Structure 1
Amino acid sequence: MNEDHHLIFAKGKDNTENIESCTYKDGRWLVKYKNNHHVFQYNYENIKWYKNPKIKDPTTSLIYENNHPVSGITKILDFGEYVKLNFKTGYKKSYQRSRLVIEDSSLTNSSTLSTFNYLKTLANYVSVKDENDKSFLSKQYENLTLISPRSVLASYLKGEQFGLQQKKVNAVYPFGFNISQKLATEKALSNQVSIIEGPPGTGKTQTILNIIANAVMENKTVAVVSNNNSATANVLEKLEKYGVDFIAAYLGNNQNKAQFFANQKSTYPDMSKWGITSSEYNDIQSKLRASQNKLNEMLGYQNNLAIIKQELSSFQTEYEYFIKYYEQSNTTDIMFKFVKKISSDKALKLLLEFKQNVSENKFSLKDKIYNLFFYGIFNLKFYKLPPEELISFLQKVFYEKKIQELNTQIELLLKRLENYSFEEEMKEFSQRSMDLFKAKLAEKYKGGSRTIFSSDALWKDEYHKSFLKEYPVTLSTSHSLRNSAAKNYLFDYVIIDEASQVDIATGALALSCAKNVVIVGDVKQLPNVVSADIANKSRQIFETFGVVGAYSFANHSLLSSFIELYRNIPKTLLKEHYRCHPKIIGFCNQKFYNNELIVLTNQEEENQPLVLYKTAKGNHARGKLNQRQIDVVFNEVFPDQKINEAEETVGIISPFRLQAEELQKTIGNRKIDADTVHKFQGRERDVIILTTVVNYNERNAFADNSNLINVAISRAVKKLIVVVSEGSEEWNGTNIGDLVRYIQYHNFEVIESQIYSVFDLLYSSYSEKLLEVMRKSKKVSNFKSENLMNTVIGKVLNLPEYQSLDWVLHQPLRMLIKDPVKLTEEERTYAMNILSHTDFVIFNKHDKMPVLVVEVDGHAYHANNPVQLKRDKMKDEILRKYGIPIIRMKTTGSMEENRLNKKLEEIFKIKSGSAGLIGS
C-alpha cells in the first residue's frame, strides 16, 4: 500500500506500511499483510481508511503538538482527520489532526519576506564576527527558515496592526505595585504586544517580576531578554531574594549555559510551608479583592501627595525670588483684614479685576459694593494706595495663600495615609500575593527529586517539553534566545528589557520566539550604539530594500521602531520615581519627561542636593580630556563637600572614555567608581560627580546628548555635583547649559542681573484667568489678537527643539527690569508703571530667564494711534537696553508661526539641520 496516498488504521493502529491490500466485501474488511498469506477479516468499524492526502511542504510549514514544535520533518501528509509525518530519522508517525497546529510560514508572504531579507542582510554587517569572519547574527538568520504566523515577528515584518485583545485579568502582585506598575502588568497580560516605558528609578524590574509571577501561575512560559547579562542577572537576583529563583534558567551565551547545566540541583527548595488548601487559596483571593480598591485609592493619595509636595517646593522657590522683587519695589507696609478670608484663586481674580479698574482709571460705586460683598473689602484705604504697590501686595497674597493651601492639602493627605496604615497594608497585600504565588509553585512541583538535564534538552523535542515544565522562565540575551529553546518554539511571553539598547536585527530574533511580547525601555535613555561605518552601510541596505522608516537600523532601536510603527499600541509610562532626591530628578522630569514623573523620594534639605563647580577660563580641554576638571574634582570637590567614601557610594561620570581612564588612574585604590555614562546605565550611587569635559570653545554635540545627560544625572541618589567650564550658563540651546541654569536657579545662585527671572507660577496662573476673560470678551479687539497669538506660540513651542521654553501673558515690565539705571526718565516712568506690560514673554523653564518678548500689534489699534506707536518704540528700546530680544507680530500677517520659529532659531543660533541641540 502506497503510504503517500493511503492511511489505514486497523483497530486504532496505523498499519499502512505493513498492509499489502485492503478490500471491503459482504460487510467486512479483508486485509492482507505483507509477508503473510493469511487474510484478516475486520468489522467495518475497526478499519479507518483515508486516501489522497494534501501534501504540505515541510520547508514552508510549521507543526506544533501541545504548543511544542515538531521538528526534523521531511514529509507532511494531511489526510483530514489525521496527519502523517515522516522524519529525517526514517521514523513515521500519524497524529490526530486536532492535536496539531499546522501553519504556513509567514515567509510565504512576499512583503514579509522582503522585510525579513532586509534584516537578514543587515545581520551580516552589524554583528561581531567569528574566527571565520562570519557574523553571529547572520548565522542565526540562516537558521531562521520558518516564522510562525502566531509569532510577534510575523506581524512586525508585515507592519500589521496587532489586535487589541483586552482580556480580563485578575493579576496578583507578589513583588509589590504602584498605580503605573499595576496598569503596565494588566496591559502586558491582556495584549499580544505592549510597551512599558521605564524612566530612571521607576521600578521596571518590579513590574517584570509581577508579569513573570502571573504568567507562571497560569502555567505559561516566559523569556526575559536584554542586550546584556546585567539586566537579566538583576531579575534573577530579585527572584533569588524571594526564594523563587529555582523556576528560572539563566542561559544566554555558552558560558552561562555551561554554568547553569553544571550547577543544577537535584532537589527543590523546602516548600512544605507553601502549600495551602483550595478554601484557604480562595479566602486569600477574596481578601486581596477586598483590599485592592482601598489600596488603589490610597496609592492615588500617595501620588497626589507627591505631586502637591513638588508644587509646594516650586512655589516656595519662586516666592523667595518674588520677595526680593517685592522688598525692592514696595515702600508701604500693607495689610488688610479681608486677606485672611480669601483663597489664592480669589486673590488672583481680584488682581485681574483690580488691574482692569486701574487701566480704566476708575473704581465705580458698583465696583466697591461688589468688592465688599465678594472679597470683604470694606476699608476704603484700599482704593487710595499706589496701584503698583497694591498689585504687588495682591501678588504676594496669592503666593502666601497658595503655599498655605498646599500645606493644608499635604497635612490632610498625610493624615489619610497614616490613619489607613498605608505601609502596613501594602506590605500585607504583597505578602498575600506572594503566598498565592508560592502556593501555585508548591502545587506545580510537589517536592521529590528534580530532574537533572543535559544541555541537549534545549533543542531535543522530547526533553525540551520537560525542561520548560521545570524551568518556565528563561533568562537570556536577546541575540541568544533562539539558541536557548527548541527550534521554532514560541514562548507565551517574551519580555525584552532595556529595549532602547536592542537593535532591530537582534530584537527580531527574540520576536520570532514570542506569542506575546512586552517591550520595556526608555527612548530618553541610552540607545544602541551604532558606529558611523555601520550606520552608513545600514542606510545603503535600507535604501536598496525600500522598507518604511520604522525599520531604519541607523535611526531606531527595537523600542523606537515599535513606537514609530504602531502608534496605538498599549503603552504605559511608569511615573512613580523612587531613586533620586526630588531636586535632582526634577531637572530630568522638567527637561525630558514633560513633568509626568511623580517623585516619591523625600526632599531633605540638610545636604544641598545640587552643587555646581566652574573651572576658570582657559583652554584646559584637550579633545576628550580635561585635566583642569579632574584637578577640581579631587582638590576641591572632595574636600569642600566632605564626601565620606566609607559611608557613601560615589561615582564619577564622564561622557568620554579618555577622561574616565584618567580619573581611574587618579583614584587608585579608593572606593570610587569612575566610568563613562554608558557603563553607568542601570546603576546608582549616593553621590554622582559629572565632569562634562568640554569648554565653550569646543562645544561637543556628543557630550551634550540628551540621553547621556539624562542617564548621568539620574544615577545620583542624594547629591549631584556638576563640574563645568566657566560661562556654561550662557550656552543657549544646550542640555548642559540648561542644567547649569537649573542648578543656579534652585540654589538661588542666579548671577546678579539687571533683569528679573519670570515669575512663572504666578503669571501662568494669571494667564489662565486672563485667557478666560479673552475668550468671553466680545468688545476688545486686541484680546482676540492676543488669543490667536497665544495659539501660535503654543504650536511653535510644542516643537521638540523648544521643549525647554515656556511662556506667560502680560508680565509687567517692572517685573522684568530689576534696575532701571539704563533708562531715561521718560522710559523709567513708562517701564515702572504697573500697566506697562509685555504681551507675551517666552522664557527658559530651567532658570525662568526671559528669552524673547512677543508683542501683538493689532492693525487698527496700532496703525492709527500715534501715542501707542510711541509707546511701542519706547518698549522696544527699553528691552534692547536690557538685552531682551523682541519680535512684533501683526495680526494681519499670515506667516506668524514661521517668523516666530525663525526668531527663536536666530536667538539660539541654530544652524540648518542641527535644531535638535535645544531639545536633544
Structure 2
Amino acid sequence: MTDPHREAVLIRSRDQPGFHDKTSQVLDYVVAADFTFVTFQPASSPRKYRYSAQNVMILRNPTREPIEDRDCVSIRGDPVQGVTEVWRFDGPGQTWWRVFSLTSGREDYRTCRQDEISIVHAAEDATEAYDVLNYWHHVVSHLGQDDPLRPLYKNFRAVPQGSILDLYLRGEALDASAEIGELIFPFSSNLSQREALMKGLTHRISVIDGPPGTGKTQTILNLVANIIRSPGTTVGIVSSNNAAVENVRDKLAREGLGHVVADLGRSDVRRKFFAGQHAENVEVQRQAGRSTVSLPAAGRISDLDKQLQHLQVMARELAMRRQELDAYKLERRHFSQHVDSHELPPLPALTLLKRPSNRILEFLAQTAAVPANESRLKRVFRRFKGRFRYGSTKHIDPDNTDVILRLQAAFYDSKIAELEQQMERAKAQLDQNDCPGLEDELRHLSRQALDASLYQRYSGGRSQGYSDDTYRRDFTNFANDYPVILSTCHSLRRSIPAGFLLDYLIIDEASQVDLLVAGVALSCARNVIVVGDLQQLQHIAAKGASERARPAPAPSYDYGRHSILSSIIERFGTDLPRTMLREHYRCDPAIIDFCNKKFYGGQLVPYTVSDPDNKALIVVRTAKGNHMRQHVGGRTNQREADVIAEEVLQEFCSDTRPEDIGVVTPYRLQVDKVAEALVNTIQADTVHKFQGREKEVIIMSTVLDETKNGRFGVEFVDNPQLVNVAVSRAVKRFILVTNYDMLPASRHLRDLVQFIQYQDPEHGVFDSAVVSVFDLLYKEYSAVLRPLAARLQNTSKFASENIVWTLLLEILAEATYTDLAVAQQVVLRNLLPDLSRLTAQQMAYVRNRATVDFVIYNRITNVPVLAVEVDGFAFHEADPLQRVRDGFKDAICLAHGIPLLRLPTTGSGEEHVIRQKLATAILD
C-alpha cells in the first residue's frame, strides 16, 4: 500500500482536466517505459489499469514544512482545522503540497497545487499579541448569533508574521521603515497633505487626522498614486461603510484610473466589478498599445514641489492673516458697541494713536505695571524714555478708563490696518509667482509619471480575465492587474487569499471602525495608514458585548472604549507619526470657526472667503412652550418641523435649490416627521447618516424642550461629535432650529447658540448685564504685560498672582475645561455694558482704572465665567481704603452677574476652591 507521507500518485484522466491525487486509492503501481500500471483498492478485489506515462506523476522524497499550533493553513481559501503535518512534493514543472489533519480522532489529508495553498506562520514571541486576540475572541463570543464577525473570527486564530497587526499588538517602536524617492501629486496637494504623504510612506503605522473639508480624499488619492507607482505594490482601502470607499473609486474613475481598482466589497458590488472587466481591459490594452510614453524631465517634479512648498507656506500665512483679520473686525464691532454705550469724550491728537498696534499695547501695559511706590527719579526717567517711544502723552491720564477705552479702540484700528497691509503684500508675492500655474504643472507632470509607471505595469496587457470563483487562485497576477483593492473592513479578509499580505492598508473613517473588525483587516497588510477624526462620530460598540466580556489585557485594546483610530493614538502616544490636515476648503469661515475653536483647538486654517451678504449662522426659536413628544423608540417635535417647512425655508433658503438643502436631527422619528413636511428634493436624515456628506444649507432640528423628558435627552443631543458633524456639513449657511429657551441645560449646543449670537453683535446678542471678554485684545495685552510686570514689580502680591496664573493655566489645560481661557488684569469697565447701574462712588472707582486680576471666560463665546482676585494681606486686609475698593468691586460684580472668587495670599487649598467655583459657574 502507498505511504502518503513518502510518495504521491497523481493521475490525469479523460473526464477530468489536470492531475488529481489518487494516492489513498492506490495499492501498488509499476512504472514501465511508456506506461504506468496502477492497482487500486480494495485489496480483496484489486483493479489494475494501464495509463500512458504522461498521465501519471509519481512524486517521492517530500520535504516536511515546519508547522506550529498557531500557524494557519488554507487550501483554496478554506482554513484546514487540526493540521498535524505539511509535506511539499517537488514535481516536474510544479510543486504539490499535502496537508495532514486530525478530524474526530482520525487522520486525513488533502493534496493541492502550489497556487492553491496558503501557509500563514504566526508571529513568534507574541504572548501579548495573543492575549489581545484571545480577548477579542471572547468579546465576539458575546455578539449576536447573526453577527458577521462570528464566522470571521472562527478562522482568525493566528497573528500573521510580518503583518501590521503583529506590530500594532506588540506596540513596538515606530521608526521610519523606508526611504522614498520622488513624490508625485497628480491630485494636487498642500503642506499638511504632503506631510501626511511623507509619514504614511515612510512608517509602517501612521495616522492622518482629517477634520471636515480638509481634503482627506485628495490625500488618499495621492497616497494611492505613489503606492501603485512602484512595480507590484498593492494597497487596500477599507472603511466601516461603502460610501467612503465608493467616493475614492468614483474619483479614480473620473480621472481615468478606474482600471487599477478591484471593487471587492458587497456581493452586488463584486458581481458588478467582475461583469465590467471587459471595458476596463479595453483601457488597459489602449495604454499598453501606445508606442511612446511621455516622461517628465528629470528632477522637474522635485523642483516644482520645492517651489510650491515655499509658496504654500505664504498661502497658508495669507489665509491665517485673513482669519485673524476677520476675528479682529468682529471683535472691533463688539468693542465699538461697547465704546458707544459709554459716550466717551474724544482724545486730543496724539502721536501714540498713529503708532503700531504693539506700541499702543506696550503703553497700556507699562502704565498698568508701574508700581504704586515708584520713586520720583524713576518716574521722570520713564516719562523721558516714553516720549521717544510713544510721543507726547502729558495731556492724557493713563489711569482714566475713558483714555484706556480710546487707546484700546486705536489698538484695534491699527491692528486691522496692519493685517490688511500684510495680506496685500502676501497676495502680491503669490500673484508674481503664479502659484496656480505651478500647481497645474505639478499635477500634469505627476500624472505623466504615474501613467508611465502604469504603462510598465500593463505593458503586456492583462494576464487574463478573472471571475469571482477563480481570481483567488492566481491572486498574485490579479493584484498586479488590480493593485487597488476596495472593500469594507468586514469583507477584506474574505476578498483575498488567506496568508496574502497587501503592501499597504488605508482605513478611512477610522473613528467609526471598531477594534474587532479592524483587527481582521490589519492581519491582511504589512503597513497601515489610519485616516479619521476623533472629533466626529465614533463607533458604537455592540450593546452588552463589552460589558459581559472579560477585561481587556491593556486599555488601548478595549473594544468598548476604542475605535481603531483612538486605540492607535493611545497605544503609541507621542511616538506615533501623526498629521492633522489643517487647510480647510468647505465651509464659510464663520461656520468652520465654531468647529475650529470648539473642537480643533484653533488649528484649522480656512481657505474659504466670507461673503458679506451671506448670513452664515442663524438661530431660529420656536414659540414659547414645550413642543417635544416622547414616543417608543425616540422623540419628535412637530412645531420644529412646521417652523422649518413654513418659515425657515421661505425666509432663509429662498436663494438655494431644494437639492442643495439638508435637514439633520438626532432622532430617526423626527427625520420622518420633517420629511412629511418637506418637498421630496430636500434631503432629511439623522446627523449620523449625514457624516461624510455636505450641503449648501444645513438646517438642524434639536427636538428637545425644557420638560423633564426633554432634559433627559440632552446628553444624547448635546454630544460634541454630533454637534461638530451637524455644523460642518454646511457649506454656505447653518440654521439651528431649537426651542424658545435654547437648551440652557446643554453645554455644546449652548455654546453654539451663543457663538451664533456673537457673530451678529448688532442684532444677535440678547440684552446682557455683562460684556463678552475682548479675547484678542487681552491675549496680546497679556503677552506684553507679563514680562513688563516681572521687571517693574517686586511685591509679594505679584508673586502670588504668578502662582495663581500658573495654577489656572494648569487647570484649564485639563479636558474638562478645554472650552475655557483666562485673561489677566482685565479693565473692569471692559466688562460692563455701561455705567448706569453704578453709584457715584462706584462710577468713580471704575473710571480710575479698576481691574480684575483674572477673568476666566468661555473661549468659544467669550462670555465671562469667573473673576478671580488675589488679595495680598498688606495690600488688602491691612489697608482700610483698599477694603472699601474691594467692596465696590464685589458689589459691581454681584450687580452684573459676574461670579467673583477672592484668594487671600495667606490662604491655602486654592486649587480645590478654584475647581469648586468653576464647577458652579459652568453649571449656572
**What TM-score comes out, normalization by structure 1 length?**
0.86
Work out the CA distance in 2 between the residues paired with 1:637 and 1:666. Answer: 12
- 2:217 aligned with 1:199, yes or no? no
* Residue number among 428, 442, 447 corresponding to 1:429 in the alignment: 442
The answer to whether 1:541 aligns with 2:553 is no
- Does the residue aligned with 1:807 lie in a helix, a strand or coil? strand
CA RMSD in angstroms, aligned pairs only: 3.3
Residue number among 722, 735, 740 corresponding to 2:748 in the alignment: 735
1:667 aligns with 2:682: no
In 2, the alpha carbon distance for the partners of 1:895 and 1:439 equals 70
Q: Distance in 2 between matches of 1:123 and 1:161?
A: 29
Tell whether the 8 Å contact from 1:172 to 1:210 is kept in structure 2 after alignment.
yes
Contact 2:706 2:743 in 1 (8 A): no
**What is the CA-CA distance between 1:254 and the residue it aligns to?**
1.8
Q: CA deviation at 1:423?
A: 1.2
Instruction: Report the equivalent of 1:445.
Output: 458
Aligned amino acid, residue 197 of structure 2: T
Residue 614 and residue 685 in structure 1: after superposition, are their counterparts in 2 closer, same or farther (change >3 A)?
A: same
Query: Unmatched 5+ residue regions in structure 1?
Result: 8-16, 18-32, 38-49, 911-920
Of 689-698 and 568-577, deviating more is 689-698
Residue type of the partner of 1:225?
A: V
Q: In the alignment, which of 508, 511, 529 is matched to residue 522 of structure 2?
A: 511
2:801: which partner in 1?
Answer: 786
Report what 1:179 is aligned to. Answer: 191
Q: 2:600 corresponds to which letter in structure 1?
A: Y
For 1:23, the equivalent position in structure 2 comes to none
CA distance in 1, matches of 2:425, 2:611: 21
Quick one: which of 580, 601, 608 aligns to 1:594?
Answer: 601
Q: In the alignment, which of 884, 887, 890 is matched to residue 898 of structure 2? A: 884
Read off the aligned partner of 1:597 and give its amino acid letter. L
Q: Are the structure 2 counterparts of residues 780 and 279 from structure 1 closer, same or farther at C-alpha, using a change threshold of 3 Å?
A: farther
Q: How does 1:38-53 map to 2 (within 5 A)?
A: none
Give the CA deviation at 1:825.
2.6
**2-side partners of 1:435 and 1:804: how far apart?**
48
Distance in 2 between the 1:743 and 1:164 partners? 45
Between the aligned partners of 1:160 and 1:83, the Cα distance in structure 2 is 37
Partner of 1:123: 140
Map of 1:908 onto structure 2: 922
Measured in 2, the distance between the counterparts of 1:651 and 1:90 equals 58
Q: CA contact under 8 A between 1:152 and 1:512: conserved in structure 2?
A: yes
Deviation at 1:399, TM superposition (A): 0.8
Q: SS of the residue aligned with 1:651?
A: strand
Alpha-carbon separation, structure 2, partners of 1:139 and 1:569: 33
After TM superposition, the structure 1 = structure 2 runs for residues 92-241 of structure 1, keeping only pairs within 5 Å, are 104-106=121-123, 109-126=126-143, 133-165=145-177, 167-219=179-231, 220-241=233-254
Aligned to 1:303: 316
**Other structure's SS at 2:131 match:** helix
- Give the alignment partner of residue 848 of structure 1, picking from 848, 862, 865: 862
The change in CA–CA distance for 1:539 and 1:160 in structure 2 (over 3 A counts) is farther
Shift of 1:627: 1.3
Gaps of 5+ in 2: 9-20, 22-28, 34-59, 101-108
Any idea what the Cα deviations from partners look like across 1:705-729, whole Å, max 9, x if unmatched? 0011000000000011111222327
Q: CA deviation at 1:588?
A: 0.3
Matching residue within 385, 400, 409 for 1:370: 385
Per the alignment, residue 505 of structure 2 pairs with 494
How far apart are the structure 2 equivalents of 1:784 and 1:852?
Answer: 21
Which moved further from structure 2: 388-397 or 295-304?
388-397
- Do the aligned residues in 2 keep the contact of 1:252 with 1:480 (CA within 8 Å)? yes
CA shift, 1:345, in A, is 0.8
Q: Does 1:609 align with 2:623?
A: no
Asked if 1:652 is matched to 2:663, the reply is: yes
Asked whether the equivalents of residues 185 and 222 of structure 2 are also in contact (C-alpha less than 8 Å), the reply is yes
CA distance in 2, matches of 1:57, 1:443: 38
- Listed one character per residue, the Cα deviations across residues 131-184 of structure 1 (whole Å, up to 9, x for unaligned) are xx4432111111223321211112333444444425344321111101111111
Secondary structure at 1:381's aligned position in 2?
Answer: coil
What is the identity, as a one-letter code, of the residue corresponding to 1:675?
D
Q: Distance in 1 between matches of 2:395 and 2:835?
A: 29
Shift of 1:348: 0.6
What's the secondary structure of 1:479's corresponding residue? helix
Deviation at 1:755, TM superposition (A): 2.1
The question of whether the paired residues in 1 share the 8 Å contact of 2:88 and 2:98 is answered with no
SS of 2:869's partner is strand
Query: What's the offset of the Cα at 1:780?
Result: 2.2
What amino acid is aligned across from residue 370 of structure 1 in structure 2? K
The total of aligned residue pairs comes to 849
Tell me, in whole angstroms, the C-alpha distance in 2 between the residues paired with 1:322 and 1:448: 69
User: Which residue of 586, 600, 604 corresponds with 1:579?
Assistant: 586
Higher alpha-carbon deviation: 798-807 or 307-316: 798-807
State the partner residue of 2:56: none
Are the aligned partners of 1:805 and 1:845 in contact in 2 as well (CA < 8 Å)? yes
Cα distance change, pair 497–317 in 1 and its aligned pair in 2 (3 A):
same
In structure 1, the residue corresponding to 2:539 is in which secondary structure? Answer: coil
1:356 CA displacement: 4.3
Cα deviation, residue 458, structure 1 = 4.2
Q: Structure 1 pair 140/357, CA: closer, same or farther in 2 (3 Å)?
A: closer
2:576 is aligned with 1:569: yes
* 753 and 108 in structure 1: CA distance in 2 versus 1, 3 angstrom threshold: closer
Question: Are 1:347 and 2:353 an aligned pair?
Answer: no
Amino acid at match of 1:680: F
CA contact (8 A) 2:285 2:461 kept: no
Superposed counterparts of 1:688-699, under 5 Å? 688-697=698-707, 698-699=710-711
Q: Deviations over 1:4-33 (max 9, x none)?
A: 6999xxxxxxxxx9xxxxxxxxxxxxxxx9
For 1:596, the aligned partner's letter is Q
CA 1:663/1:528 → structure 2, altered by over 3 Å: closer, same or farther?
same
- Could you tell me which residue of structure 2 aligns to residue 263 of structure 1? 276
State the secondary structure of the residue aligned to 2:382. Answer: helix
Q: Which moved further from structure 2: 259-268 or 507-516?
A: 259-268
CA distance in 2, matches of 1:855, 1:906: 17
Aligned to 2:836: 821
Task: Give the conservation status (yes or no) of the 8 Å contact 1:729–1:740.
Answer: no
Query: For 1:652-801, what aligned pairs fall within 5 Å after superposition?
Result: 652-669=663-680, 671-697=681-707, 698-699=710-711, 700-728=714-742, 730-731=744-745, 734-748=747-761, 749-777=764-792, 779-801=794-816
Is contact 1:686-1:717 (8 Å) kept?
yes
Residue identity opposite 1:617 in structure 2: K
Query: What's the offset of the Cα at 1:879?
Result: 0.8
Check the 8 A contact 1:169/1:189 in 2, yes or no.
no
Shift of 1:92: 8.0
Which residue does the alignment assign to 1:558? Answer: 564
Inter-partner Cα distance in structure 2 for 1:447 and 1:340: 75
Deviations 1:212-251, CA, capped at 9 Å, x for gaps: 1111111311100011111110000000110001100111
Distance in 1 (CA, whole Å) between partners of 2:131 and 2:309 is: 47
Partner of 1:866: 880
How far has the Cα of 1:859 moved from its partner?
3.8
Change (3 A) 1:108 1:295: closer
- Aligned match of 1:415 in 424, 428, 444? 428
Q: Is contact 1:107-1:146 (8 Å) kept?
A: no
Report what 1:25 is aligned to: none
Write the distance in 1 (CA, Å) between the matches of 2:383 and 2:904.
38
- Once residues 819 and 776 of structure 1 are traced to their aligned partners in structure 2, the CA distance between those partners, rounded to angstroms, is 34
Render the CA deviation track for 1:828-883: whole Å, top value 9, x for unaligned: 3223322x110000111233121100111224433423332332233222211211
Please give the secondary structure, in 2, of the residue aligned with 1:682.
coil
2:370–2:793: 8 Å Cα contact kept in structure 1?
no
2:39 maps to none
- CA 1:278/1:861 → structure 2, altered by over 3 Å: closer, same or farther? farther
